[in-house]
Amino acid sequence: MKFICCNTYDALSEQAAEILKGLIREKPNAILGLATGSTPVGTYRALIRANRAGELDFSAVRSFNLDEYFPISQNDAQSYYTFMRQNLFDHVNIRLENTKIPNGEAKSAEAECALYEASLAEAGYPDLQILGIGENGHIGFNEPSDRLSESTHTVDLAESTIAANARFFDSQDDVPRRAITMGMGSILKSKKILLLVSGKKKHGVLNALFDASITTHIPATLLKLHPDVTVLYDLDAKNG
Ligand code: F6R
């Protein structure tokens, strides 16, 4: 795990975007693993600016998102599908048919998980996976637990995650209780991983990453098993 300290959230976002731009220029049909949440928004904004300036072409880029609430309709204001449209897809020249997000409208969550993992496997898994991190160390919706599932699966959200995500909903009761998420095994199959850690609330979990131990109770520590992980963190996360 390589750690890089950035002074501010904006600097972190610019640096993450530079890494993505480098990949897309080198491999125009790169497969990106994408995340939602507040952290990658600045990175997506930097990518949008580069695309608008004619410096970055998404026409052959493909993407897979980490997770989606279940059940949820695609057009729900809080679906991750809507989030990705609003924060990236609608503002760059990516083809929507090249973007994949677990389907929150699927009749069977289990069948959707199997289908999603099969499409990941067929595509060969992402060239670069962008990740945020939960205050509890979750990655995607892989919540702290004695056991972690390897591939795409359904999950009951942890109370702390429901509370953390309530800021996006009218009330905490409106936060969906379940989700579909890529498993830690699927995530570890990406060729490269870029983990973004920003803000005072992530201080504790950043320290857990600095520590050498690996535990399913802090799922992000499993990323230490991957040979090519870069952690970009800002001073707020460092100093708490
Ligand atoms: C989002 C996701 C989550 C977030 C995490 C941090 O697709 O998988 O694991 O990355 O909850 O969220 P923020 O960035 O809002 O602090």
Residue 147: what pLDDT? Answer: 95
CA–centroid distance, residue 125 to ligand 1 (Å): 20
Residue 157: what pLDDT? Answer: 87
Residue 164: what pLDDT? Answer: 87
DSSP state of 64: E
Residue 84: what pLDDT? Answer: 98
Asked if 12 and 232 count as a contact pair (C-beta separation under 8 A), the reply is yes
Ligand 1: residues with CB < 6 A are: 35-39, 66-67, 132-134, 138-140
- Mean pLDDT per 10-residue section of the chain, whose length is 240 residues: 98 98 98 98 98 98 98 94 98 98 97 98 98 96 95 92 89 92 98 98 98 96 98 98
136 is catalytic: yes
The per-residue b/e assignment along 177-205, b for 16 or more CB within 10 angstroms, e otherwise, is eebbbbbbbbbbbbbbbbbbbbbeebbeb
Residue 82: what pLDDT? Answer: 98
- 10 Å CB burial of residue 158 (0-12, 13-18, 19+) is middle
Single out the residue of 122, 112, 120, 97 nearest to residue 190, CA to CA.
Answer: 120
CA–centroid distance, residue 150 to ligand 1 (Å): 19
Asked if 130 and 151 count as a contact pair (C-beta separation under 8 A), the reply is no
**Model confidence, pTM:** 0.97
57 is catalytic: no
Q: How far apart are CA 176 and CA 78, in angstroms?
A: 10
Question: Rounded to 5 degrees, what angle do the CA atoms 119, 122, 125 make?
Answer: 80
Residue 161: what pLDDT? Answer: 85
Q: How far apart are CA 235 and CA 197, in angstroms?
A: 10
Residue 158: what pLDDT? Answer: 83
CA–centroid distance, residue 137 to ligand 1 (Å): 10
Q: How far apart are CA 168 and CA 160, in angstroms?
A: 14
The model's pLDDT over 54-113, given as tens digits with 9 standing for 90+, comes to 999 999 999 999 999 999 999 999 999 999 999 999 999 999 999 999 999 999 999 999
Q: Which atom of ligand 1 is nearest to the CA of 40?
A: 14
Question: To test the ligand 1 pocket, which listed residue (9, 13, 36, 43) has its Cβ within 8 A of the most ligand atoms?
Answer: 36
DSSP state string for 110-157: HHHHHHHHHHHHHHTS-SEEEE---TT--BTTB-S-SS--SSSEEEEP
